[in-house]
Structures are given as C-alpha cells and as structure tokens.
Amino acid sequence: MDNLLQFSPMQSSVDEGFWHRLSSLKLNKLGIDDSPINIFGFYAPCSHSQVSNYLTVLSESLPSELSEASLIPEPSRGNRNRCSVPGILYNTNTVESFHALDKHSLLNKEAAKIWDDILTGKAVEDCSLLSRFLVISFADLKKWTFNYWFAFPALVLKPPATVVNLKPASHWFSVAEAESVSAACNEWRSSKLTADIPFFLVTIDSNSRATVKLLKDWEACRSNAHKILFGFYDPCHLPNNPGWPLRNFLALISARWNLNSVQFFCYRENRGFADMMKSLVGEALITVPQEWKDTMPNVVGWELNKGRKVPRCISLAQSMDPTRLAISAA
C-alpha cells in the first residue's frame, strides 16, 4: 500500500511595514472604500535545515498611495530571494464585517483563478500564477491593532495523490547526476532572468547531464530527455514532506499533461546554494477520473493559528500610536 502524499502548509509572515502602509492608504486614500486590493507576497526556497521559508508581505506588497491610476503594485523581478505570488486583500471597516466575510466563497474565488489559468495554459507560460494567496483583515486604526487571516488556496486531488520513494535528492540521483543538477540549479538561481521562476523542469540525458528548463518546454523535453523531473522551489524544511506549492503544480501536471506518475523535485538550498541532501525527490501517483476537468476541484488553504481555526492579531500601538510615541520621545 502506498503512502498518502502529505504537504506541509505554507505559512505567512507579515513585515511591520505592511501594516504601516495599509494604515496610511486607509487614512489618506481609501477611506471607507473596502473593495478588495490586489497585493503580492513573496517566498524563496528553504535555505536553512531548521526553518521553513514563509510567504512574506511587506510595505511594497501594497500599492503606493502616490500611484494615481492603478492600484496594482508592480513586483520587481529578478530578485532570487523574492519569488512573487499574486494575492488579494479584503480589508473590512468593522470587526463585524470581518467576521461576516464568507471565507468559503472567497477561497474558492481565488482557487478558480488558479484553475482557470491551468486550463487555459496561462499558468504554463507564467508559473507564478500557480500559487496565489488571500488575506482578510480588519485594521483598527484607533487602537493600532490588526486582525488578519491568510489563505493559500490549494486544489485538492481526489482521490489524494500517493507517494513512493520519497528521499533526499542526493540518494535518488547518481553522484554525477547530483553534481550536474546542483550546477544547473545554481546557474538557474543566479541568472536574473530565471532566479525568481519557482516551477521548472529538470531533464537529465543519458550522459547524466542535467538541464533546467521552463514549463513551456515540456513537449520538447518529453520526446528527447532520458529522465524528466518536475521541480519547484520548496519553502518547507521538513525531511519527509514537500511544501505547499507542489499541490497546484500536481493539479497542473495531471490536468494539462495527463500524467499518472510524476517525479517531483523539491528544490532546497543551504546558505543560498543548491543542497542535494536537503532537496527531496519522490514519485507521486495520481489517479484522476475523466470528469475531473469539468468541475473545479475542492479547495483547502486557510492558515491555522497555533493549530486553531482563528485569525491572528497584532498590536502596533507601540510603534504607530502618536500619543504613545510622543510620551516615549519626551
């Protein structure tokens, strides 16, 4: 009996600057307008054996107050420590409306965008569309407290994928292959053109030479490659579980390319360089019924707060409240 493939959930991290900019946007520009705001976050491959990487939002995640026409922030490209992820923020005006938000339908709405991009092939062209996130929040600007809840929508395979042979990449590859894969990944990560592209193909020829390719090269790769792996930047540090981004990647692979057996490569780093001991390779087995593509799969992804289904709360009165600042400055 094969084991169920279990994914470690994505976790959020909010830089203080995000709340500072949201507050000034709210006070100076948005007012009581509570329509959703397009934002973006970023993550990077895990780079330490003890801690996972987080999906981070900071002040640049929000549109600038000054930007006139568009409220859509522009992520800067080419930073290897910032793979951008499109997100959406629902900031309510009252605590009651925060609780009244229909979380189920908001999550489905974001997942529908991912599913649509998979079916149309947009996600193959621009794989940053495979991961999305949403935040619901209530910013109490009288008390400088922020209640919020992140979700990372993941399409659920039914029946769930199972896994065989999940092990460190260094055990899975031959020595020559591991060296070549490391070198190819380091090159991919150091080029400004590809450093922040989090999903990719790794092909290995019969001479153990590895190449990293874009997803859109799939058709060309499948005809001449000796081995093909589906690689992704894995924010997770756990030795026996891949991270969250693999979920929507598997949905794409099975929906577009009809594969039942997928060799996946969880790319992880040590101090910024490819680490084949911490990276994982495994084989996911997917059985997808024919009618699967007609309806959108189920979705999961609300973040737990210390294991509980509750929002998070942060108080920034110490750094934002003008009266407290005046007292501490006196």
Partner 1 sequence: MVLSQKLHEAFKGTVERITGPRTVSAFKEKGVLSVSEFVTAGDNLVAKCPTWSWESGEPGKRKPYLPPEKQFLITRNVPCLRRAASVEEEYEAAGGEVLLDDEDNDGWLATHGKPKETKSDEDENLPSMESLEISKNSSIKQIPSYMGPEEEEDIPDMAEFEDPSNVIETDPSTYLVAHEPDDDNILRTRTYDVSITYDKYYQTPRVWLTGYDESRMLLQPELVLEDVSQDHARKTVTIEDHPHLPGKHASIHPCRHGAVMKKIIDVLMSRGVEPEVDKYLFLFLKFMASVIPTIEYDYTMDFDLGSSSN
> Which residues in this chain contact partner 1 in the complex, by CB under 8 A?
4-9, 11-17, 20-21, 47-48, 50-51, 53-54, 56, 59, 64, 79-82, 95, 99, 103-104, 107, 143, 145, 147, 156-157, 160-161, 189-190, 238, 241, 247, 271-273, 298, 300, 302, 304-319
Which of 99/216 has CB closer to partner 1? 99
CB of 53 to partner 1, least distance (A): 6
CB of 223 to partner 1, least distance (A): 32
CA dist 247 and 251 (Å) reads: 6
Residue from 160, 118, 153 nearest 288 by CA: 160
Which of 218/292 has CB closer to partner 1? 292
What length does the chain have? 330
CB of 314 to partner 1, least distance (A): 4
Peptide bond into 63 cis (omega under 30): no
CB of 144 to partner 1, least distance (A): 9
CB of 8 to partner 1, least distance (A): 5
CA dist 44 and 235 (Å) reads: 6
Contact 142, 27 (CB under 8 A): no
Query: How does DSSP assign 223-277, residue by residue?
Result: HH-SEEEEEEE-----TT--BTHHHHHHHHHHHHH--SEEEEEEE-EETTEE-TT
CA dist 137 and 134 (Å) reads: 10
Which of 186/263 has CB closer to partner 1? 186
CB of 224 to partner 1, least distance (A): 32
Which of 60/177 has CB closer to partner 1? 60
CA dist 118 and 256 (Å) reads: 7
CB of 162 to partner 1, least distance (A): 10
Which of 228/281 has CB closer to partner 1? 281
In this structure, what DSSP letter does residue 40 have?
E
Q: Is residue 54 exposed (0-12), middle (13-18) or buried (19+ Cβ within 10 Å)? A: middle
The b-or-e profile of 79-113 (16+ CB within 10 A means b, else e) is ebebbbbbbbbbbbeeeeebeeeeeeebbeebbeb
Q: Which two tokens stand for residue 92?
A: 């309510």
Which of 51/220 has CB closer to partner 1? 51
Which of 117/196 has CB closer to partner 1? 196
